[in-house]
Amino acid sequence: MKENILVVDDELGVRESFRMILKDKYNLFIYSDGKDALEFVKKHRVDVALLDIRMPKMNGIDVLKKIKGINPDIQVLMVTGHATLDTAVEAMRFGAFDYIYKPFDKDKLEDLVRNGVKRRKQRIKEKKELKHLEIVKKDLDERLQKAYSSTVESLMAAVTAKDTYTSSHSEGVAEYAMLLLEGLNLDLSSEDKEIFRYVCTLHDIGKIGISERILRKKGKLNKEEWKEIKKHPEIGASILQPIEFLEKFIPMVLYHHERFNGKGYPEGKENGEIPSWARILAVADAYHAMRSDRPYRPGMGEKKALEQLKAGAGSQFDPEVVKVALKLFKT
Q: Among all residues, which ones are annotated catalytic?
A: 207
CA dihedral over 51, 124, 28, 30, signed as positive or negative: negative
**Closest to 153 in 3D by CA, of 168, 167, 174:** 167
Residue 253 near residue 199, CB atoms below 8 Å: yes
CA gap 220, 211 in Å, rounded: 15
CA gap 182, 193 in Å, rounded: 9
Kindly provide the residue ranges of all beta strands, DSSP E only, lying in the chain, ordered along the sequence: 4-8, 27-31, 48-52, 75-80, 96-101
Which amino acid would we find at residue 49?
A
306 phi/psi in degrees, rounded to 5: -65, -35
CA gap 168, 259 in Å, rounded: 24
CA gap 205, 156 in Å, rounded: 6
C-alpha angle with apex 43: 41 to 45, nearest 5 degrees?
Answer: 65
